[in-house]
Amino acid sequence: MKHTLKKLAAGMSALAILGLSGAAMAQEKVTLGVSIPAATHSFTAGVVWWSEQAKAELEKAHPDLKVIVKTSSGAPEQANQLQDLLTVNKINALVIMPFESASLTQPVAQLKRKGVYVTVVDRGLTDTSAQDAYVSGDNTAFGKLAAEYLVKTLDGKGEIVALRGIATTLDNERMDAFKSVIDKYPDIKLLDARYGNWNRDDAFKVMQDYLTRFKHIDAVWAADDDMAVGVLQAIKQSGRTDIKEVFGGAGAKGMVKTILDGSNPLIQADVSYSPKFIYDAIKMTAEARLKGEKLPENTIIPSVLITKENAKEFYFPDSPF
């Protein structure tokens, strides 16, 4: 009898220990840092908005989750914030949209070496070993669809200029995909491709330079809807009538509305690339880490050509972008 009671007591003790261990595991918190560029133009305004949406919804749904959103106006500031997220906020997971690829790779790698789970969004790092997962729109399709559309619009012949974004892996992917199509058509000449930094004012200056240097331009690949606004302003100011098409990118609501209304003959098409991917990345990362799971190494969200026929599907008037 005593032996049986001892076994029962031992069993109950073991169950109690297991119960406490299970409770401790269930109560293990995830502190998720979100590091993103500041809202310097409408696309990043959308990124900030969707990040705050994700924070509010996820913290409400998961008591064991804390989400800390940090915005930065440049790569050095973002690198400093990463250190603060680690040492001050004690994050154990990170979702980052790097301001630049090369200069943020080592700061991110340092966090990963400290045991932080890293999901990189949109602008990739130059060394993928510094990340656990990558979530992005389809940057190859972003450039390819634009080039194919312009080739068709120009009937395979003409002179075009391009504006690039910021020196990042995604910008390289877009440009490489664009050129891979254009290079197949010897009668289409890419006159120049300069950085407009995904910024209206910078794009305005780049386009002014193009208009001064090139006496004839058939089409412009602005590669971003904010840059397309700057391009359109420069064209209007110049009074030039030779340009037949301005193709932006990302599906900003203003551009999609222009396509729907047919209010500007230079804007007839766009390509989707929604800032909502940051929301998706935060949600996927948070929920995976709460379960102790990992994400797939790569998650690519498709990009689609937007024309008048399907523009209603991509028009979100309440969004900041």
Rounded Cα gap, residues 59 and 39, in angstroms: 23
Q: Report how many domains make up the chain.
A: 2
For 92-103, write each residue's pLDDT tens digit. 999 999 999 999
Q: Smallest Cα–Cα separation from 82: which of 114, 122, 57, 53? A: 114
Q: What is the mean pLDDT of residues 56-83?
A: 97
Q: Are residues 163 and 75 in the same domain?
A: no
Q: Are residues 149 and 107 in the same domain?
A: no
For 286-310, write each residue's pLDDT tens digit. 999 999 999 999 999 889 999 999 9
Q: Are residues 133 and 282 in the same domain?
A: yes
In degrees and rounded to multiples of 5, residue 182 shows phi and psi of: -60, -40
Q: Are 67 and 54 in contact (CB under 8 A)?
A: yes
Cα 303 to chain centroid, rounded: 12
Q: Are residues 146 and 260 in the same domain?
A: yes
Lowest mean pLDDT among 76-80, 164-168, 176-180: 164-168
Kindly tell me if the per-residue pLDDT of 6 is higher than 60. no
Q: What is the mean pLDDT of residues 204-223?
A: 98
Residue 14 lies in a domain: no
What pLDDT does 7 receive? Answer: 40
For 124-151, write each residue's pLDDT tens digit. 899 999 999 999 989 999 999 999 999 9
What pLDDT does 2 receive? Answer: 38
User: What rounded mean pLDDT belongs to the chain?
Assistant: 91
- For residues 186-198, b (16+ Cβ closer than 10 Å) or e, as one string? eebeeeebbbbbb
The DSSP secondary-structure symbol of 130 reads: G
Cα 230 to chain centroid, rounded: 21
Q: Are residues 201 and 227 in the same domain?
A: yes
For position 87, which CATH number holds?
3.40.50.2300
Cα three-residue angle 55-58-61, rounded to 5 degrees:
145
Label residue 24 by pLDDT band (50, 70, 90): very low
Kindly tell me if the per-residue pLDDT of 16 is higher than 60. no
Cα 106 to chain centroid, rounded: 20
What pLDDT does 168 receive? Answer: 86
Q: Are residues 167 and 221 in the same domain?
A: yes
In degrees and rounded to multiples of 5, residue 87 shows phi and psi of: -85, -35
Q: Smallest Cα–Cα separation from 292: which of 128, 110, 117, 68? A: 117
Kindly tell me if the per-residue pLDDT of 156 is higher than 80. yes
Q: Smallest Cα–Cα separation from 222: which of 286, 280, 164, 288? A: 164
Q: Which domain holds residue 148?
A: 139-271
